[in-house]
Structure 1
Amino acid sequence: MATDTIDLIPVVDISEFISGGPGAGAVVEKIRTAATESGFFLVTGHGVDPAATKRLYDLAYAFFDEPQDWKVGVGRGKDVEGGVAFAPMKEEALAGTLGRKTPGDLKESLNFGPRLAGDTWPDRPAGLEAAFRDYFAEMETLARHLRGIFCTAIGLAPDFFEKDFENHLSALRVINYPEQSEPPEDGQLRAGEHTDYGFMTILRSEASAGGLQVQRRDGVWLDAPNIEGAYVVNIGDAFMRWSNDEWVSTPHRVANPPSGFHGTARRQSIPFFLNPSAETMIECLPPFAKDGAKYEPISFADYIALKTSQAFGG
């Protein structure tokens, strides 16, 4: 049962689970507790290659430093499977997924998925596509470990979900939150309040003025902790539905820098959105069905289409 408030976003070293060590059970219990209480936790001991992370971070940073009139011509087509997609400043308003009308979010992003539609990759900065693909592979490995932890926590076979991720529609996004040279409009944030759509999100974040905030059950917003080398993980809407709402997808947002802040407030984050295949049915898992399923089954393709349309004003 979820608690009334989130007082702590825990940090969990998952290395014992990955290695099959004696502490694997404790890892499972910590994540089970976090998933049902806050829906958020940080993981260390994950084995992600820091060089792959830095390479993607640096090359994406260089892309976002390019002139705006050049960037807006990149990644706007949808004819290339595994191509790149670019979303300019203010194009997306994430609060729309909760039915709230706000100005566009103060961010821009590069997006990629091997099975998602995009456009031809730009020729600068050199190596950008390879950096995306290398980091994506790192995230696939970490996501597989986390799925195993989830299944064990629920009482399912560790590989229960693997069939649903054979042709997964996961997406890797690098988001640039630039300096704010003028005050935001009323209700405008770097990223509006939302929940994530898919199975889970694995986020590489950084400390900055104006960062990730997670909402407690009583409506209070907490600043998510930032630990060098750790990843923020949160449960997505699809998995919350799969779990009959026992594992929680918690509202979060990215705040604006404080008014009058004089230091650098530029921020770059790298979320990996883990999604199953299009034909996967999102339906109540047997361990959660004891009091009956709350929702009708729905394919992931139909579910994600609805959520995406809401975010982009559909």
Structure 2
Amino acid sequence: MVTVSDASISAEIPVIDISPFIAGEKGSAEVVRAVETACRNLGFLLVTGHGVPVETTARLYNTARAFFDEPQEWKVMQGRGTGEVGGMAFSPIADEALAATMGLKTPGDFKESLNYGPRLAGDAWPDRPAGLEAAFHEYFGAMEVLSGHMRRIFCSAIGLAPDYFEKEFVDHLSALRVINYPEQHVDPEPGQLRAGVHTDYGFMTILRSEASAGGLQVRNREGEWLDAPSIDGAYVINIGDAFMRWTNDEWVSTPHRVANPPSGYGGTARRQSIPFFLNPSKDTVIECLPAYAGAGAKYEPITYGDYIKLKTSQAFGKG
């Protein structure tokens, strides 16, 4: 069954149960239609019935939180090298300014993050907390499975063979990140957000989010900022820039941000999220799919490696 949440909960962001598609049951076509509509209209949706074990998510959430609870002077010495493929990278508070990828000049984002990808450069994993590396690997594997389901749904929506994109993900450059948004005990700098307005770079993002004061906001086509709902067990999924280019901008990569807690907020506003960025392989050529080329392609073909290099350099102030 395809379910769309009550408007008071999620406004224009639909919640879709994808279990019929995964199981190959009656209702698969309705799942495909609902996903396609969401991707064309907003580029954001929430999915339930995904099959990701609760224990896998909890293990990563808890071990990463233990890392973030370590003393700051120890944390900033971790994960700063790039000599180990598949290692861990740590980005301290204000190290990244995502709004720069949209040409906006802002202070660094008020967040810190742990980052991992099996084919991405990092540093040696820290010796504490115990089980951190294993938790990342386990969750990454679960996201590979879920992203495979979503690729097949996308292919069905476009009229492609179910395995059309699989060759592009043989040596994929996907990344898993756990982000800590600390309490804000002092006012942020002018223009500083927990995460500045941006679009994601790759094929799609699968986000485990949580309710907090100061959370994910999505900008619809009317320019309104929608608060993304936090529904227990659901994942937020959004289209990335690379896939929008593949569809000649017919599927939307939507600007989003993470807002600050209200000024003077008296409750707990700490927030932790887990985004999985599904990215194709470095040599994958991003070019208009034939199904969307009727009026001519808007973009010249580009390899994903060249595209991600440009975006990353902008975010970290190197471009």
Among 199, 203, 214, the alignment partner of 1:195 is 199
State the partner residue of 2:270. Answer: 266
- % same residue: 72
Q: Report SS of the residue matched to 1:222.
A: strand
1:95-116: CA deviation from partner (whole Å, max 9, x where unpaired): 0000000000000000000000
- How far apart in 2 are the matches of 1:295 and 1:158? 25
Deviation at 1:219, TM superposition (A): 1.8
Deviation at 1:220, TM superposition (A): 1.5
**Aligned amino acid, residue 243 of structure 1:** T
1:77-123: CA deviation from partner (whole Å, max 9, x where unpaired): 00101000000000000000000000000000000000000000000
**Aligned amino acid, residue 53 of structure 2:** D
State the partner residue of 2:41. Answer: 37
| Structure-to-structure mapping, 1:64-213, within 5 angstroms | 64-213=68-217
Deviation at 1:276, TM superposition (A): 0.2
Query: Is 2:314 the partner of 1:310?
Result: yes
1:176-195: CA deviation from partner (whole Å, max 9, x where unpaired): 00000100111100000000
Q: Report SS of the residue matched to 1:270.
A: strand
Q: Report SS of the residue matched to 2:135.
A: helix
1:114-159: CA deviation from partner (whole Å, max 9, x where unpaired): 0000000000000000000000000000000000000100110011
**Aligned amino acid, residue 131 of structure 2:** G
Deviation at 1:202, TM superposition (A): 0.1
**Aligned amino acid, residue 278 of structure 1:** K
Runs of 4+ in 1 over 4 A off after TM superposition: none
- How far apart in 1 are the matches of 2:121 and 2:317? 20
Q: Report SS of the residue matched to 2:218.
A: strand
- How far apart in 2 are the matches of 1:63 and 1:78? 20
Q: Report SS of the residue matched to 2:280.
A: coil
Among 14, 17, 26, the alignment partner of 1:13 is 17
State the partner residue of 2:219. Answer: 215
1:237-260: CA deviation from partner (whole Å, max 9, x where unpaired): 000001000000000000000011
| Structure-to-structure mapping, 1:205-284, within 5 angstroms | 205-284=209-288
Unmatched 5+ stretches in structure 1? 1-5
- The alignment yields a C-alpha RMSD, in angstroms, of 0.8
Deviation at 1:216, TM superposition (A): 1.7
Deviation at 1:218, TM superposition (A): 2.2
My pick for the range that moved more, 89-98 or 217-226, is: 217-226
Query: Is 2:298 the partner of 1:294?
Result: yes
Q: Report SS of the residue matched to 1:135.
A: helix
Given the two structures, how large is their TM-score scaled by the length of structure 1?
0.98
How many residues are paired up? Answer: 309
- How far apart in 2 are the matches of 1:18 and 1:71? 40
Q: Report SS of the residue matched to 1:232.
A: strand
Given the two structures, how large is their TM-score scaled by the length of structure 2?
0.96
Deviation at 1:45, TM superposition (A): 0.2
Unmatched 5+ stretches in structure 2? 1-9
**Aligned amino acid, residue 95 of structure 2:** E
Deviation at 1:7, TM superposition (A): 5.0
State the partner residue of 2:65. Answer: 61
Q: Report SS of the residue matched to 2:144.
A: helix
State the partner residue of 2:4. Answer: none
- How far apart in 2 are the matches of 1:12 and 1:47? 13
**Aligned amino acid, residue 162 of structure 1:** E
- How far apart in 1 are the matches of 2:112 and 2:123? 16
Deviation at 1:217, TM superposition (A): 1.7
